[in-house]
Structure 1
Amino acid sequence: MPEPTGVIHDIGYQRYTGPRLGRRAVFGALYLHGLRTAFGLGRSAKAKIFPWLVVGIVTAVAAALTAIRAQIGEAVMTYAQFADNMSWLVIFFVAVAAPELVSRDLRSGVLPLYFSRPLPRADYPLAKLLALATALWLLLGGPQLVMFLGAAFSTGDGMGGVADELLDLLPSLLYAGLWATVFASVGLLIASLTGKRAFAAGGIVAVFLMTTPIVGTLSVMPSRTVNELAFLASPSTLVGGVGSWALGDLLVTEDQQGVPVGGFGPVYAVVAVLLVAGCVALLLRRYRKVAAR
């Protein structure tokens, strides 16, 4: 009896001969996809409603402030104060965007597909974190740029006035970056703990809003030291404390007082750095565990 023989059929498949882009391209693709997801781009019309509603609100506020300044000849709100006053909108933006970035992948079980490629385990959460931080920075920095352009065209001091406005804008953009980094770090860490978007969104809002009463309680204690350190208890007031210390007149004016940190400004800065570092470390640890399952 003859031995069975195998037959290889050529059905037309060809080997890939193009460039193999590697880790950097994968990271960039994750980052770009995350940034688009934060604003609902490439998604259904329903997914675009809330993020673009928030974008519309902050842009309309910036345009209104610019128009008022052009009429009365003085700024109603500084660039840095704009970031502070829009922080409540940033909280809700994070609560919607962060679960879209990570909770959906956890729920659908697609992470093994991501990690089957030449993608280090740390790159996935870092790309998502960078995408969310960039989205938040654009959310605050874009309207600040609108305010700057309005002020630059309406100033009566020529190029000197434009230069003064630019010197006010640049530190405020860095301050917006601080808001974005802290809020993205905390929000994405919370969202990574569950695959259910509703639970993730509720947890994010709870962490940011429910810490405010703690600040209020500590700030009325009889000890002045406790009063000045009370604002460390909430991410929002923590960032505001760093701004009050670092930006000075750009944030604290006659019409709006900053967070009263006293001589503890450097403490607020160190705690903000530790908070971001801690959230990133826990986020990386979370995805090492997810990948090991």
Structure 2
Amino acid sequence: MTTLDAPQTDRPAGVIHDIGYQRYDGARLGRRHLVGALYLHSLRTAFGLGRTIKAKIFPWLIVGVVGMIAAVLTAIRAQTGEAALGYAEFPEMLSVLIIFFTAIVAPELASRDLHSGVLPLYFARPLHRSDYALVKLAALTSATFLLLGVPLTVMFAGAAFMVDGIGAVWDELGDFLPALGYVAVHAIVYSVLALLVASLVRRRAVAAGAIVGAFLLTSPVVVVLSVLPYEAASQLGGLASPVTLVSGIGDWAFERSGEVGVGPYGPLYGLVALGLVVAGALLLLARYRKVAAK
């Protein structure tokens, strides 16, 4: 038994080992570079880059399906000389695939960090809570835009080589650029809603199901309103669902078919979509302020 009166020589002598740790003497890049690195990492995560094969399967499966559809449409136009589908109709036709893509990617960007408890490590750096939320939203929006924008650009490039004369190319460009704007509307609206839902659920599988439900469970309301014997009810029914809300904006602002299914309420669709995006972003910021405060 060791006592206070034991001689000092009976105690083991302490040894200091030099294991090579050194202080960092390089430049400290600060918040802006931290935000850029987080955005790039999140964008790579959206497509499973730098991760296992399992993480790449579902996003790249959807990318492959969208790319194949664009290639088939381009081939049909090359054979027949007529476009089987307009540029602005392309994202509208693929709305279900956009829902599945955001339902897969948003939990990877938000739910994974919540479940693993790494957010305190992020916020221990010079990274604001709002930076984290907005960077994740920007990454998901960018990934969704690339999902549709790249195949659409391939379709335009193929059409530009098929038409005769620079005037026809300009006409194609006049159809293509508004369609890119329509793709941006899809990307923003779908991403805001998907990431907000994912930020509320820690388990990725549950979050994916909740995202799909948030988009699809409102569709029966639209169907009920569309069969009412009131024209205004049918035209305003699209406001009840995010999918038909974006579709209504396309009918009003981007498609040249001459048929406006939303009647005179096109500007209202635009305002509701803007309000949805702003409200979703504010709720997302509030969610991460609450998470960081725990």
Fold agreement, TM-score > 0.5: yes
Deviation at 1:166, TM superposition (A): 1.1
The residue aligned with 2:43 is: 35
| Distance in 1 (alpha carbons) for counterparts of 2:276 and 2:217 | 17
| Distance in 2 (alpha carbons) for counterparts of 1:160 and 1:42 | 44
Q: Per-residue displacement from partner, 1:168-215 (whole Å, max 9, x unpaired)?
A: 111111110000000000000000001101110010000111111110
Q: Per-residue displacement from partner, 1:14-49 (whole Å, max 9, x unpaired)?
A: 321211111111111111111111111111101111
Which structure 2 segments of 5+ residues have no match?
A: 1-13
Larger radius of gyration: 2
| Distance in 2 (alpha carbons) for counterparts of 1:107 and 1:175 | 34
- What's the % identity of the aligned pairs? 60
Q: Per-residue displacement from partner, 1:64-103 (whole Å, max 9, x unpaired)?
A: 1111111111111111100100111010011110000010
| Distance in 2 (alpha carbons) for counterparts of 1:204 and 1:197 | 10
State the Cα RMSD in Å. Answer: 1.6
Q: 1:141-180 residue pairs with structure 2 within 5 A?
A: 141-156=149-164, 158-180=165-187
| Distance in 2 (alpha carbons) for counterparts of 1:80 and 1:139 | 15
The AA in structure 2 aligned to 1:263 is P
The residue aligned with 1:279 is: 280
The answer as to 2:208 corresponding to 1:212 is: no
| Distance in 2 (alpha carbons) for counterparts of 1:165 and 1:222 | 39
The residue aligned with 1:13 is: 21
Moved over 6 A (4+): 6-10
The residue aligned with 1:3 is: none
| TM-score normalised over the length of structure 1 | 0.93
The residue aligned with 2:104 is: 96
| Distance in 2 (alpha carbons) for counterparts of 1:166 and 1:11 | 62
Q: 1:1-293 residue pairs with structure 2 within 5 A?
A: 12-156=20-164, 158-249=165-256, 252=257, 260-293=261-294
Deviation at 1:8, TM superposition (A): 8.7
The AA in structure 2 aligned to 1:274 is G
Q: How many positions carry a matched residue from both structures?
A: 281
The AA in structure 2 aligned to 1:281 is L
Which structure 1 segments of 5+ residues have no match?
A: 1-5
| Distance in 2 (alpha carbons) for counterparts of 1:11 and 1:213 | 65
| Distance in 2 (alpha carbons) for counterparts of 1:10 and 1:98 | 45
The residue aligned with 2:5 is: none
| Distance in 2 (alpha carbons) for counterparts of 1:8 and 1:168 | 72
Deviation at 1:248, TM superposition (A): 3.6
Q: Report if the CA contact (8 A) 2:89-2:255 is conserved.
A: no
DSSP 3-state at the match of 1:51 = helix
Deviation at 1:9, TM superposition (A): 7.9
Q: Report if the CA contact (8 A) 2:215-2:242 is conserved.
A: yes
Q: Per-residue displacement from partner, 1:198-237 (whole Å, max 9, x unpaired)?
A: 1100100001111111100011112221111100011011
Q: Per-residue displacement from partner, 1:228-269 (whole Å, max 9, x unpaired)?
A: 1100011011011111111240xx37xxx66x1000000000
| TM-score normalised over the length of structure 2 | 0.92
| Distance in 1 (alpha carbons) for counterparts of 2:95 and 2:255 | 19
